[in-house]
Amino acid sequence: MENTFFSRIRRSIFGGPINPETGRKRKQAVFNNLILHIHPRAVPEQTLKFTHTWGLGGMAVVLVMLLLITGILLKLVYEPFPGTAYDSIILIQNDVWFGQLVRNIHHWSANILVIVVLLHMLRVFFTGAFHHPRQFNWIIGLFLFFFVLISNFTGYLLPWDQLAFWAITISTSMVEYIPGVGSWLQKAIRGGSEIGPESLKIFFTFHTAILPACLVILMPFHFWRVRKAGGVVIPRPAKENQGTERRSVPTIPNLVFRELVVALVLIASILVFSIIFNAPLEDKANPGFSPNPAKAPWYFLGIQEMLLHFHPLFAVLVIPLLVTTALILLPYLEYDSDKTGVWFISQKGRRMGIVSAVLALAITPIGVIADEFLMDFSAKLPGVTPLITNGLLPVSIILAAITGFYIQIKRKFFATNNEAIQALLIFLLVSFIILTITGIWFRGQGMALAWPWRIGVME
Ligand code: HEM
C-alpha cells in the first residue's frame, strides 16, 4: 500500500485503501454530499429556466466569495492608518504581483454586488416570492442588503484618497440631522467629531471583520430558509390540478451545471472588466481642501438628492424610515390573493407596472426642476419654520398624491390590491432611480443642476 504523506492524508479523508475506480466514485460521493448539503436532491423542472430567477441569488454568492478572497489578499498589504493607507494602496497597485488586478476585482465586485442584490430583491418581489412561507426570508434578505450596503460604505474610506475622504465626510454629516441622537451617532461612527485615524480604525474593523462575519453567518441561514420553503418559488397549481405530482429532476447535474455556467461567466466578465478598467484612486486625502461638488457614494446619492428638496430631518430620517418600515411590513400585509411564482402577478399587473414607470419617468424630473427653479414654499410662507415649509408640507402633499395614485390606478384597472401595491412600488422605485441618476450625473458645482458635459471631470 502506498504510504506517502499525501496518501496518508487522502486515506484519512476518503478512507482507504483506494483503487482508482472506487477512489473516483468516493470523491464523487463526497462532492455530491457537499452539494446536497445546500441543495435538495431534486428540484422542480420549472425552476431551471434561467429567466425564472436570472441566477441573481447565485451571482450574489459568487460575488461575496470573490470579495472575501480578494479582500484577504488586499489585507496582507493594506495599512489602516491615515499616514500610510494611501501609500499602501499605491504599493498594492505598483509593486505587488497582480496587486492592481486584485484591487480592481475587489472594487468592481463590490459595486456590482450592490446592483445584483438589488435586482435579486426586485426578482423576489416581482415573482411574489415574499409571500408565505417565505416572509421571514424576505426579512433576512433585508438584513443581507443592509450588510452589503454598509460593507461597501465602510470599504469606501479605506483608500484614504480625496474621493473616499469627502464622500464619507458628506455621508456621515447627514446623520447629524437625526434629532436627539444625531450628533452622538455621528461621533460614534466617526470615532470623534471629524473623519480621522479613529474613523479609519472603526471602518477597517467593520469592513474586514464584523460585516464579513455577519454575511458569512447570515447567508447559510438564508439558503436554509429557501430549502425549507421547498426551493425557489413556482406558480401554485390551479385548484383542479392540486395534489398532482410536479415533474422534478435531479439537482446533480441539472441545477449544479447551470449554476456553474453562471458562476464562470460572471467571474470571466469581472476579470475582463477588471483588466480593462482600473478602480478609481484620486490624490491623497486632504482634509483642508473639499472638492466641489462633494458627493456621497453613488448608492446614497438618491438620499443626498432628497436633501436638496426636503428638510434634512425628512430626507435622512422620516422618508428612509417610512421606506424601511414599508419593506419590512410588505410580506405581512393583507393581500387579495397570494399569487406567487408568476412575474408581475398577471398581464394586468404588467400593464399597470409599465404605466407607473412611465408616469414616474415623466413626473420626477419635472418635480426636481420645478423645486429647483419655481417652487419655494418658504418664500410663500414667510415666518413659518422650514421644518413645515420644506418638510411636513411637501412630504404630506407627496403622501396624499401617492394615496391618490394607489386608489386611482386600482379603480381604473379593476385591480387586486396586490397589483396596485406592485404598481405603487414600481412608481416609487423609478422615482428613486431618477433621483439617484440626477445626483450622479446632473449635479455640478454647489450641487446645482447642470448637464453632465458641463460639469467637467467628476466622479
Ligand atoms: C448577500 C445577499 C444575498 C444573497 C447572497 C442571496 C442569495 C439567495 C439565493 C442563492 C437564493 C436562491 C434562489 C435565487 O437564486 O434567487 C435566494 C432566494 C431568496 N432571497 Fe436572497 N440573497 C441575498 C439578498 C436578498 C435580499 C436583499 C432579499 C430581499 C429583501 C432576499 C430575499 C430572498 C427570498 C425571499 C428568497 C426566496 C425566493 C424564492 O423562493 O423564489 N435575498 N437568495
| pLDDT tens track for 237-274 | 766 566 666 788 999 899 999 999 999 999 999 999 99
Higher pLDDT, 26 or 353: 353
From the alpha carbon of 219, which atom of ligand 1 is closest?
A: 5
Question: If pLDDT is split at 50, 70 and 90, which confidence band does 316 have?
Answer: confident
Question: Model confidence over 370-396: pLDDT tens digits?
Answer: 988 887 777 777 888 888 988 899 999
DSSP letter at 194? S
Q: How far apart are CA 72 and CA 102, in angstroms?
A: 10
Residue that is written with C-alpha cell 454629516 in the block: 173
Q: How far apart are CA 194 and CA 101, in angstroms?
A: 32
How many A from CA of 141 to the centre of ligand 1? 6
Q: Residues with beta carbon inside 6 Å of ligand 1? A: 53, 56-58, 60-61, 64, 117, 120-121, 124, 129-130, 134, 137-138, 141-142, 144-145, 148, 219, 222, 226, 229, 232-233
- For residue 107, pLDDT over 90 is answered with yes
How many A from CA of 50 to the centre of ligand 1? 15
Q: How far apart are CA 57 and CA 127, in angstroms?
A: 14
Q: How far apart are CA 389 and CA 376, in angstroms?
A: 8
Give the three-class secondary structure for 443: strand
Average pLDDT over every residue of 310-331:
93
How many A from CA of 56 to the centre of ligand 1? 8
Q: Which of 47, 144, 151 to mutate to test the pocket of ligand 1 (most atoms within 8 A of CB)?
A: 144
pTM: 0.91
Q: How far apart are CA 67 and CA 427, in angstroms?
A: 33
Cβ atoms of 430 and 356 closer than 8 Å: yes
Q: How far apart are CA 294 and CA 442, in angstroms?
A: 13
- For residue 341, pLDDT over 80 is answered with yes
All cell numbers assigned to 20: 482508482
Tally of helices (H runs) and strands (E runs) in the chain = 21, 2
- For residue 215, pLDDT over 50 is answered with yes
Question: If pLDDT is split at 50, 70 and 90, which confidence band does 51 have?
Answer: very high
- The answer, yes or no, to whether the previous bond of 280 is cis (omega within 30 of 0) is no
Q: Which of 109, 140, 108, 113 lies closest to 124 in space, CA to CA?
A: 140
Tell me the average pLDDT of the chain.
91
How many A from CA of 61 to the centre of ligand 1? 10
Q: How far apart are CA 291 and CA 283, in angstroms?
A: 11
DSSP letter at 43? E
Average pLDDT over every residue of 65-74:
98
Cβ atoms of 128 and 418 closer than 8 Å: yes
Q: How far is CA 153 from CA 139, 149, 270, in A?
A: 21, 6, 21
Percent of the chain with pLDDT over 90: 72
Backbone angles phi, psi at 32, to 5 degrees: -60, -40
Question: Model confidence over 417-442: pLDDT tens digits?
Answer: 999 999 999 999 999 999 999 999 99
How many A from CA of 176 to the centre of ligand 1? 33
Would you kindly state where each structural domain of the chain is located, as residue ranges?
1-38, 47-236+244-294+312-319, 344-459
- For residue 196, pLDDT over 70 is answered with yes
Of 1.20.810.10, 2.60.120.200, 3.30.365.10, 3.30.950.10, the CATH number of 47-236+244-294+312-319 is 1.20.810.10
Question: If pLDDT is split at 50, 70 and 90, which confidence band does 339 have?
Answer: confident
Cβ atoms of 57 and 120 closer than 8 Å: yes
DSSP letter at 332? G
From the alpha carbon of 148, which atom of ligand 1 is closest?
A: 1
How many A from CA of 48 to the centre of ligand 1? 16
Q: Give the burial class of 12: count Cβ atoms within 10 A of its Cβ; 0-12 exposed, 13-18 middle, 19 or more buried.
A: exposed
Distance of CA 233 to the CA centre of its chain: 21
- Number of Cβ within 10 Å of residue 134's Cβ equals 23
- For residue 458, pLDDT over 50 is answered with no
Output the pLDDT for position 359: 97
DSSP letter at 394? H
Strands 42-44 and 248-250 turn out to be: antiparallel
**Residue 91 carries which side chain, given as an amino acid letter?**
L
All cell numbers assigned to 156: 469606501
- For residue 457, pLDDT over 50 is answered with no
Output the pLDDT for position 94: 97
From the alpha carbon of 130, which atom of ligand 1 is closest?
A: 35
